[in-house]
Structure formats: C-alpha cells, structure tokens
Structure 1
C-alpha cells in the first residue's frame, strides 16, 4: 500500500509534463475553463433540500464504486479501449437536479474518491489524469445543463410539469452530455486512434455510456419525487456492470495480450466464419502471412522490452495500412502476423500488402533516447478460392509464399499464384 508521501508528488514531477505539448496545453486549458464556468453566478438558490440531494448523490456514488470495486479492477485490467466508468449515473442526475456550484462539488467528490481508490486498490492512475477527466466530465455536465435551460427547463422538476417538452429537453441534455464528453476526451489522449472504435470506443462501450445516462435520468426522477426509490437503481446498475465485464472477458479471450490483435484462436474463429459466408455467397477473400525480418537482432541488441514495443508498433502499423472495418489482423506468435481481407480481389490484395510493407519499412519506434528503425517484413499472399477452399489450405499457401519471400531476399511481397 503506498504511503502519503508517494501520492503527494512535487509539481515538477507530475506525470502531466511527460505528455506531449498538445496534451499538456489542452488539459490545463480545459481545467481553467471548468474553473471559470464554476465561478460564474448561478440564478438558482441553494437550499437545504438541494444540499441533501448533493449528499445523497455523493454517498450513493461512493457506495456504488465500492460495491463494484472488484469488477472494476478486472475491467480496467482487460480493457483494451478507453475506460468508461459508471459515474454518469450520478453526474447526469446532478445535471438534472443541482446548480453549477453543487454540481462541481459532486464531480470533484466522486473523482477524488476514484483517485484515492485507484491508488490504493486499482492501478496507480496519475493524479493529473484524474483531474483532467474530472474537468472534461464537468464541462460535459455544463454543456448538458445549458441545453436543458435553453429549452426553458431548469431541472427535472420543471421537466415533469412541461410534458413532452420536458421529456425532449431531458433527452437532448443526455445526448449533449454523451457527444460533448466523447469529443472533449479525444485531444486529452496522447495517442489518438484512426478507426472509429479507437476514437470513440466500441458499440458496447457507447451502449454502456448511454445506459448509465438513462439510469442517471431515472435516478434524478426518483430523487425529485420519491427519494427512497433511488435504491432501485442499484440492482440494474450492478447487473449492467457485471454484464459488461463478461463481454470484456469474452473479447480479451480472443486478443493477444502483447499487441491487442486477435490471437490465434480468435483469428481462426473469425476466418472460419468468413470462409463459410464467402462460400455461400460465392465470393472471395484474401489472407496475408507476415513475418518480421531479423527480429531476433532487435531482441539481442535492444532487449526483449524493446522487442515488445516493436511488436506493438508493427501491429498498429498493420492496422493503419489495411482497408478498415471488416479486415482482421492477428498475431500468430513470435514475430508472425496474419491478415484477413474479406471481399478483396486478386489484383487489389497486392496493393494492400505493399502498403503494409512500406509502412513497416518507414516505422521508427522510440526507445528512450534512441529510435529503432530499419525494420522490414516479408509477406505471403493467398486468395480464396484459387489458392484453396479450406482455411488450412489457404494458410499453408500463404505460408509457402512467405517462405519464398524470405528465401529470395526478404522485405518483399510474394503471391502464391506467382509460384505456380
């Protein structure tokens, strides 16, 4: 368990300064904007009932976080995408119930608890990241409140008396929270992905966020009418939490831990489904077998940690060079990769393979004060059905082409059809 002096890091040693200039400037700017908006005058008076609602949301949020602590620890460990927590259940309820100042206290309290819990019970998340996340959530809350009030509805109680206008205003506030939060998070990330899933998360990730916002609206409705009913939010919330974990574990079981690509079993399962669908439709698909040239020299020269960094960088390079949605990249162990290209024709697959080869040749992997460069890859190509009508025959054909590329000089693409 860390000591207090380990947590209270001197400002010059903050992890924030190790990020790129863009991230540092954006994080500081978003935090300043959040503070300025918090200090602006509010037309809503703070009374005893509002303070009790703030206390209830804080207590319930902490209790929920502690109740789902073990599930959350596993979710963080297996998650390969930007992590989505459950705080929207309480923060969006605050949007619908609290004035800006108390909403700030709610967000600050919930994220202060998350920061302490991450140090003592989960992974050690830098304090600067927690502060930045809290500022982004607060800005999302303010944007949602602005939309709510622009509709002539100040809170959930006013929405209840406004009929359908109140319903649409509440829905618009939730949608605003969702969109603004998704957009504000992007510049705060050191590495921004290129695919929609890397940018905004998977469908299940976004579904989780929408579900928590819906529960937040019901939470606010309960607190505004029959506060005792707020405890009914807990069973579906905890069940949702565990359901998401099961989904993440299923995904993790088919992913390579080192690179995040499909592992052998995951890629095989997807390829078999693609083969069956292609056979029914009398279509075509291609397979690329890739092997990094002289990868052992990287491990021998720079060490195995550097080798792992190279594998991760190569994996991302392959992903960036394929066509996008539908193409599946897997790691078959060691320095060997495989790519599934559904619906591709024989003339086009060579262009994809060459693009991958050039991308990897231009790769520079930072390693301390040095950078690892001069990487190359040999690629073998096989296309269904010409190279085979079973998955194993296609893999064998692609592997034969790969072996020929290795034996004739490396750093080249060889199509199995050219060997006939």
Structure 2
C-alpha cells in the first residue's frame, strides 16, 4: 500500500458518497416505485476500486459505498437489513477476488480477468443464496435482460473510471455527472415501466404520489397541507390538474387517490398559509365549474397516513354538511 493508493481511495470514497447524497431523492423514488427491484450503480465505484487498490483498501471502499446508500435503500420495506448485509458480503468477496487477480496480471488482459473473476464469484455466491432461500422471484429478477444490461454497463463504467483515475486522478471527477445523468435516465425508465406518471394530465399515479408526498413531508421546513379533492363526475382529473397548476408550485406533488379522487401536498410556512392555499384551490375549482368537495389536513411532524386520514375525515364531514350522499 502506497500514498498513491491512499489518494485514490479517498477520491473514490468521496465520489461514491457524493453520488449517494446527490441522488438520494432519485434513488428513493426509483426504488419505491419498483418496490426495490432495481439494479444499483455502486459497482461503478467498487469495480474501479478493485482495479486500482490493494485488497486492504477495497473492503473499506465497499463498506463506505453501501453505507452511504443505505438511507436511500431503507425507504422501501425498511431496506431488508439482512438481505442488504448479504449483498455487501457478496460484493466484498467479488471485489477482493477481482483485486487479487488484478494484482497478479497487467494490461487489458488483467482488467478483463479481474472483471470476469468478479462476475464469477458474484454469480456463484448469489446462486448459492438463491438456492438456499428458494427465492425464485429474485432469480428471475437477476437473470432478466434489463438487469443484465444494467449490470454490464455499470461495470464498464467502473472500468472507464479506473482507466481515467489511473491516467490522472482529477479526470475521474468527470464520471460523477455522467453517473448522475444515468441515474436520472434510470428513474425515467422506472416511471415509464411502472406507469407512475401520466404526462398528458401531469399527474402521478397513487403509488407515485405517495412516494413524492412522503419525501416532501420529510424535507418540509415547516407545515404541510394535504388537499384531497373528490369530484362529482368521473374522469375529471385533467380539469382538476389544470386548476391546481394555477395555484400550486410545480414541485408540489399532485396525483390520483382512490378510485377518482385527486390529492396534492403543499409545503407551507404556517397553518394560516395552508388554509389560504386550500381556499384558493376551492375558488379555482368553483370558477372552472368543477363540482367537488375539498378536504384538507394541515400539520407539522405527522406522517402521510395521519394526514390522509384527517383529510379524508374533513372531506366526509363537508360532504355530510352539504347534504351530499355517500355516492355522488
């Protein structure tokens, strides 16, 4: 181990942590929409480390990479810590195997041999885990064409990063924006494949909206107001979305809720502002001639479930006070 190795380790560790922090929102949304069934991009950094670093530094690099990603991973089903630890252990074994091969071979042949050894160790260990858990769903996911293409591209990017850093460490910085751009493309693909967003009306599906709303609640500096709109006529989403665009910010998540309702979540400074926003929504809907009932809940520190429950109760109370039957 030399001072040069330490410098490369610090650079790769900084890149992987920066990537995980910058792409945190994207990764949470991507994983939540797909129920966690997506390929991560951490091999970009760990493959580069295996090609450039001694084994003693490869292990902490893997631990740092997966530790930085954990906050995004745990947003879906608690992250499944046991499965996550198994994944980390498998990657450590594969990375150490690749690093060992690389230390004994040089040139393009050494790079190819290291990547192949990584793939072989990784595949064997994953096969053993799947065999032991009898998880056929995981096996289908891993063998799927989409996963195989993503895995190959990630490793190739890691090889390119290693070549750039080996030539001059500073050039490795250009990979970070490229990986972040790839992450955004991966998010768009997840949104498309899960039909999470309807571009024609600029509205999220219920699952997509829940993810966005939960993220908005978590990052809100003050109050949040949840507006729940129940229209009298079905298929009114486009007209309602058009009205909301005139009142809400583009960043405020708007989506379908239930069979026909529309939900929106707004970050506000204080409760009074939330009330004003809600009245503006009601006024805009009334001006557009959309017959509906609007329920609202405004709070600080409550989760999405509690906000939805109170907004739904407010909506039902308003329907009852207006003499509207349970069925429009």
TM-score by length of 1: 0.42
Alignment: residue pair count: 194
Match of residue 193 from structure 1 = 136
Match of residue 214 from structure 1 = 156
User: Offset of 1:225 from its aligned partner?
Assistant: 1.8
Select the residue among 108, 112, 125 that pairs with 1:171: 112
Over 3 Å counting, the alpha-carbon distance change for 1:59 and 1:123 in structure 2 is: farther
For the residue of structure 2 that corresponds to 1:253, the secondary structure is coil
1:180 is the counterpart of 2:134: no
Select the residue among 246, 249, 256 that pairs with 2:191: 249
User: Offset of 1:148 from its aligned partner?
Assistant: 2.9
CA separation in 1, counterparts of 2:134 and 2:38?
15
Match of residue 240 from structure 1 = 182
Over 3 Å counting, the alpha-carbon distance change for 1:107 and 1:194 in structure 2 is: closer
Over 3 Å counting, the alpha-carbon distance change for 1:53 and 1:118 in structure 2 is: same
CA separation in 2, counterparts of 1:246 and 1:186?
30
Unaligned runs of 5+ in 1: 1-45, 154-158, 160-165, 255-420
For the residue of structure 1 that corresponds to 2:194, the secondary structure is helix
CA separation in 1, counterparts of 2:155 and 2:47?
6
Match of residue 61 from structure 2 = 106
User: Offset of 1:92 from its aligned partner?
Assistant: 0.6
Question: What per-residue deviation string (whole Å, max 9, x for no partner) do you get for residues 123-164 of structure 1?
Answer: 521433322111100111122234334xx42xxxxx4xxxxx
Select the residue among 19, 33, 45 that pairs with 1:90: 45
Taking the TM superposition and a 5 Å limit, the aligned residue runs for 1:96-175 are 96-119=51-74, 124-149=78-103, 152-153=104-105, 159=106, 166-175=107-116
Contact kept? 1:82, 1:201, Cα under 8 Å:
no
Runs of 4+ residues deviating >6 angstroms: none
CA separation in 1, counterparts of 2:15 and 2:184?
18
Larger C-alpha radius of gyration, 1 or 2? Answer: 1
Contact kept? 1:143, 1:176, Cα under 8 Å:
yes
User: Offset of 1:179 from its aligned partner?
Assistant: 3.8
Contact kept? 2:21, 2:68, Cα under 8 Å:
no
Per chain length, whose mean CA-contact separation is higher, i.e. which structure has more relative contact order (CA < 8 Å, sep 6+)?
2
Match of residue 14 from structure 2 = 59
Unaligned runs of 5+ in 2: 197-328
Match of residue 227 from structure 1 = 169
CA separation in 2, counterparts of 1:76 and 1:63?
19
TM-score by length of 2: 0.53
